[in-house]
Amino acid sequence: MKPYSQTVKQLNTLVHDGVVPGISYLIFEGQEQLRQVRGLAQTRPFPEALEEGMDYDLASLTKVVGTVPVVAMLLQEGKLTLEDPVQKYLPEFTDPRPTIRNLITHTSGIAGYIPHRDELGPVELKHVFLTQMHVNSSLNRQIRYADVNFLYLGWIVEQICQAPVQKVIAERVLKPLGMRGATFNPVASKCVPTEIQPKRGLIRGTVHDPKGYILGEHCGCAGLFATLDDLTTFSRALIEENLAGLLKPAMVDAFFMDQTPMAGEHSRSLGWKLLHSREADHHLLISHTGYTGTWLILDRQSDRGIIVLTNRVHPTAKNQAYLDRRDKIFATYLHEMQRP
């Protein structure tokens, strides 16, 4: 495997400089790989070493590791189409314009402010999300990344499958792929802690995302915990074996193509953000990040990728230094991917 010396240096420096407590990462190219687990699982209330096989709160990686594959399977099975209106499955939502395509590409324009959102119960929170949001002028015009799109997708999955979305993900994605550490109900002692909050204290083994915390198994935008090995299994299966045969080649092709409803090229496929390779052909890669400090970049054409797991929100989510450095690491990795 070609060297990724600057990428590795920048990843390790995140821990060295105290930007994150610890880090687990894997860079792979074909069957070769570079793997590292280093640093601390937590710094407060006392230091604890980061160990192999610990579960991370994946945050929004739940969208692409769990919800997107399930939606893709339902598309393959003809149980929904990208042009179906959201209202067809969620009649409480009264605007007939947004479609499944809008939700999965974050072009729905669905927005709004819910007062005291984090104090509502699960039934009330879902009702408010369906009845008190509005569709703004960005519909079919702009990509505005928002969790609400994947909350709706999760509830649409539930309408079709007649089961909580997280149970559907477990049955249709996690179990078939053999992602043994991946779960929505982890053992707290095996988890990397996230934030220390006034009301919840040290969050460990329960989802950090406040909407996911309230909605539980009915949340399609967050809630999945997984190990570095689990994400390695998922990533290789997706780009090498069409998700171990769960998806058709044409469906995986669609992940690497712009799927937005606007004219021209944009940066979204089915749930994934698209990046351009720095190589001569500028082929497309897929990527996604998670609020807690997780991310993936996958290159199907060249069978390469990088998986990074941190708990950058520990002990506090106020960590701009991480976001600045993450962007630089992205750029460094894409540069070092270039073949001579």
pLDDT tens digits for range 69-106 = 999 999 999 999 999 999 999 999 999 999 999 999 99
Q: Is residue 60 over pLDDT 70?
A: yes
Q: What confidence score (pLDDT) does residue 340 get?
A: 65
Q: What confidence score (pLDDT) does residue 164 get?
A: 98
For residues 313 and 72, what is the distance between their CA atoms, to the nearest angstrom?
A: 31
Q: What confidence score (pLDDT) does residue 3 get?
A: 86
What's the token pair of residue 30? Answer: 């074909």
> Average pLDDT in the 51-64 region?
98
> Average pLDDT in the 6-25 region?
98
> Average pLDDT in the 183-207 region?
98
Question: Domain for residue 299, yes or no?
Answer: yes
Averaged pLDDT score across all residues of the chain: 97
CA distances to 9, 21, 143, 195, 270 from 13, rounded to whole Å, are 6, 11, 33, 21, 33
| Cβ(182)–Cβ(233) below 8 Å | no
> Average pLDDT in the 117-125 region?
97
Dump pLDDT digits (tens) for 316-332.
Answer: 999 999 999 999 999 99
Question: Domain for residue 272, yes or no?
Answer: yes
What's the token pair of residue 106? Answer: 């974050």
Q: Is residue 339 over pLDDT 80?
A: no
Count: domains in the chain: 1
Nearest Cα to Cα of residue 338 among 279, 274, 286:
279
Question: Domain for residue 41, yes or no?
Answer: no
What's the token pair of residue 57? Answer: 């709160």
Question: Domain for residue 186, yes or no?
Answer: yes
What separation, in Å, do the N-terminal and C-terminal C-alpha atoms of the chain show? 13
> Average pLDDT in the 244-272 region?
97
> Average pLDDT in the 190-201 region?
98
Question: Domain for residue 21, yes or no?
Answer: no
For residues 57 and 281, what is the distance between their CA atoms, to the nearest angstrom?
A: 35
Nearest Cα to Cα of residue 239 among 300, 176, 174:
300
Q: What confidence score (pLDDT) does residue 338 get?
A: 86
Question: Domain for residue 30, yes or no?
Answer: no
Question: Domain for residue 29, yes or no?
Answer: no
Sign of CA dihedral 27, 28, 32, 33: positive
Expressed as residue numbers, the domain containing 168 is 46-318
For residues 11 and 326, what is the distance between their CA atoms, to the nearest angstrom?
A: 9
Question: Domain for residue 12, yes or no?
Answer: no
CA distances to 49, 96, 120 from 84, rounded to whole Å, are 48, 10, 30
For residues 135 and 179, what is the distance between their CA atoms, to the nearest angstrom?
A: 37
pLDDT above 90: percentage of residues in the chain: 97
Nearest Cα to Cα of residue 121 among 220, 217, 218, 215:
215
Q: What confidence score (pLDDT) does residue 2 get?
A: 76
> Average pLDDT in the 123-152 region?
98
Q: What confidence score (pLDDT) does residue 140 get?
A: 98
Dump pLDDT digits (tens) for 281-324.
Answer: 999 999 999 999 999 999 999 999 999 999 999 999 999 999 99
pLDDT above 70: percentage of residues in the chain: 99
CATH code at position 93: 3.40.710.10
What's the token pair of residue 294? Answer: 């997780």
Q: Is residue 6 over pLDDT 80?
A: yes
Q: What is the pTM of this model?
A: 0.97
